[in-house]
Amino acid sequence: MRVLFLGMMSIAISVVSTSSLSAAEIKTPRAPGSPPAAPGVAKPAPAPAADKKTETAVFAGGCFWCTEFAFEQLAGVIDVESGYCGGTKATANYERVHRGTTAHAEAIRVTYDPEKITYDKLLDVFFDSHDPTQVNRQGNDEGRQYRSAIFFANEDQKKQADAKIEVLNAKRVHKKKIATKLEPLTEFFPAEAYHQDFARRNPLAPYIQHHAVPNGLQVRSKHPELMRKED
């Protein structure tokens, strides 16, 4: 969801520098105090309104709390929604997905204004917001639901993503080759309501402090020209 990001980020920055986490807290893939997963299936969101000024991109880069947090700070990004992608409607709920036994990945759908930010720039942010060399994991979060993937909606997105990976590998930006998978976008299923804007609503949660905030700061450091101004 679109938020007033800068104020919340300043609060998170002041805490992460002094935060002390136990090993148990670091390994916990969900912050303490989170409500239990809602039963049932997450409903597919309606397609965005026909508007030539907006486009969408779907990325998976580990926990969707972290990727949502990273993209919300970008100028030109209108909305970021956490959800599930790659699997079926029947398994599109956290209770099933977090076990790692479905085809789903935790993903985000980014709605953006292409006149203010391009898909190419979103790809840059995507590859800088997580470790794209890890296979079926991000840090202590393990399982295929945490895989690095780009769900392309058309051939143009696929070509741009392919080209970006080729450049990153050629320049040896990472010590290992990019493991990000390109998967055709079939359907995106929004996650349960309590997952939406989780970092914004829980900036002091240990998991957010240890994972989402550092990732968000890394994006800000590498792409200062892409940051949204104070609203």
Residues designated catalytic: 63
| Segment holding 215, helix H or strand E | helix 213-222
- Go through 100-118 and write b for each residue having 16 or more CB atoms within 10 A of its CB, e for each that does not: eebebbbbbbbbbeeeebe
CA torsion angle 219 164 161 223 (round to 10) = 20
Helices 119-128 & 213-222, crossing angle to 10 degrees? Answer: 130
Owner of token pair 């101004």: 229
Give the DSSP letter of residue 17: T
193 phi, psi to nearest 5 deg: -55, -35
